[in-house]
A and B are shown apart, each in its own frame.
Chain A
């Protein structure tokens, strides 16, 4: 199937390195998992899986450090709340600033037996009439037809700026501006920057929902372009 390309940008971003989660330190560039989440924010269905194929870095890599007061606890139903003064932690975060990427991705339609169950189905009142008509009547349809319908749905949403929730760059406070890039028009070249990025988080494997396993890969940026291998390829370590 043909892929899609989104140009995303924002004043801040934080793609947290898993080994530095307390005082967050971002990776140099967006991870495939964060890129996938941007596509997911626009359209996701249990029948599809987004695969990122290529990441183009359009802005030089710059940093900023921000220290914030955070809470050290999670919410439990038995208590009436958390007193912030009792559980305050000051944590610094090393964020990326003024990022801009072109993300290339495509989705794969999963056969009926590999589809996860949707935990929170969208209430009917929120489904747009155009999409109600297009909603594939799933298991019975040939995959190609399902694919065509979802591709049309994604394209319509991305072009009109529609989304399920506001896409973000790693953390929800860093909202992303998202634009669908037309494949036929010429785009400005990525930054002239080549470097080895070392081991990076690729994505999480949710095949066992109770125990998501991280996957890593070793990308190298060549003149601002990172080719992202397919999740089933041998370059991905689990």
Chain B
């Protein structure tokens, strides 16, 4: 691992969408998000962060130290990284109960909740209840689960015997450090951490902060009706007397150029251990995240420009908004609607930047 970063960065991310929906609005039946008063499109911060997470998960295959904590349902073995175990911190007394041989068969197909597991030992099978298993959650689960009564009794008993213990402040700190070491997204964006200690167990504030992306110009949303030459159920087929068609809807934006801003604070990086390598990976993710996020809904999306302002110091050399003002985006022909990236001109410090140049590293020192 390289050292935590020592300088502040501010960045401008310019990306576009063609005939697609960059970020649906659950409030509006998944239409692209719009700022209703200006007609400009929006893409939320969390949408962009999700793409960064997915990219990192893809290229690093979820291996520590680049594991991702908040995952989409990828195919992943549920290998438990027992962070506390690795640190040899025992939080209280886990309870172990031998399972009678006649009940072992009924264990198949049970989906254990977090904190419960079955361990095959030399002298039979044991049920293990972790000390910090959420008792309320397990009791709820017990009501639902389908298993023989004696086994339920056994689980209840084991649950009662598990004695949680509050970790000390030092242990909490170690647990937090470990989480930051293992998980890229916690190191980068931070996380609300529960370490089952004091009620206010603190949060990790990540060094990377991103804002909503907004389109440069108002976008229009086109609604397309589409048909599917099949139906889902027999009943529908009968209703249509064999016509078997379903109508669907699709909403797209013909073209939109979006701008998001982001910030990297070295002080918070020092607290989570966000390093130079992590930063390199972040830039890589921002440049390539749309390449691995293709889908029917997205249309064509691409990062068009990533302007990175590097400060010489940790506190920075200039206010972020003044730096962002150095990047100007204008339409080449104002009276025609834009339909491609070529319809825009990106000026940086008054100079037109060639559209082939995707990443620019600039000094945050204000030009005299």
Give the B-binding residues of A (Cβ under 8 A): 11-12, 62, 64-71, 74-86, 90, 92, 97, 120, 122-123, 125-128, 157, 160-166, 168, 172-175, 177-179, 209-212
Contact = CB atoms under 8 A, between A and B. Distances in A.
A211 B200 contact: yes
A161 B321 CA distance: 9
B72 A210 contact: no
B194 A126 contact: no
Contacts of A165: 205, 207, 209, 263, 265, 267-268
A172 B209 contact: yes
B83 interface: yes
A74 B73 CA distance: 18
A122 B209 contact: no
Interface in B59-78: 67-73, 76, 78
Contact of B317 (A80, A83, A161): A161
A198 B318 CA distance: 38
Contacts of B42: 66
Contacts of A76: 132, 193-196
Contacts, number: 165
A9 to B, nearest CB: 8
Contacts of B314: 125-128
B72 A64 contact: no
A75 B186 contact: yes
Given A68-B46, A162-B315, A79 B320 contact: no
21 contacts: A69-B26, A74-B191, A75-B186, A76-B193, A77-B195, A78-B114, A78-B132, A79-B80, A80-B76, A97-B37, A125-B314, A126-B270, A127-B314, A161-B318, A162-B313, A163-B316, A164-B267, A164-B315, A166-B265, A175-B211, A211-B199
A215 B271 CA distance: 29
B73 A75 contact: no
Interface residues of B, number: 73
A85 B82 CA distance: 23
Given A82-B70, A160-B318, 19 more contacts: A66-B44, A75-B179, A77-B83, A77-B195, A78-B80, A78-B83, A78-B84, A80-B81, A81-B67, A81-B71, A84-B70, A84-B71, A85-B72, A86-B73, A126-B267, A126-B314, A166-B209, A174-B211, A179-B319
B270 A122 contact: yes
A65 B46 contact: no
A96 B40 CA distance: 16
B224 interface: no
Nearest to A162: B315
Contacts of B236: none
Given A67-B25, A76-B195, A161-B317, A81 B83 contact: no
Contacts of A212: 200
Counting chain A CB atoms within 10 Å of each CB, the highest count among B6, B212, B319 belongs to B319
A23 B30 CA distance: 19
B136 interface: no
A70 B70 CA distance: 11
Contacts of A83: 71-73
B26 A90 contact: yes
Nearest to A92: B27
B24 to A, nearest CB: 10
A153 B270 CA distance: 21
B55 to A, nearest CB: 15
Given A128-B315, A173-B209, A70 B46 contact: yes
Interface in B97-149: 114-115, 130, 132
B232 interface: no
A75 B193 contact: yes
B33 interface: yes
Interface string B212-253: 101000000000000000000000000000000000000000
A120 B271 contact: yes
Given A11-B212, A128-B313, A162-B315, A64 B37 contact: yes
Contacts of A175: 209, 211, 261, 263, 320
B33 A80 contact: no
Contacts of B46: 68-70, 173
Nearest to A125: B6
A125 B3 CA distance: 11
A238 B268 CA distance: 31
A79 B114 contact: yes
B266 interface: yes
A75 B195 CA distance: 8
B322 A161 contact: yes
Contact of B212 (A69, A71, A77, A173): A173
B70 A81 contact: yes
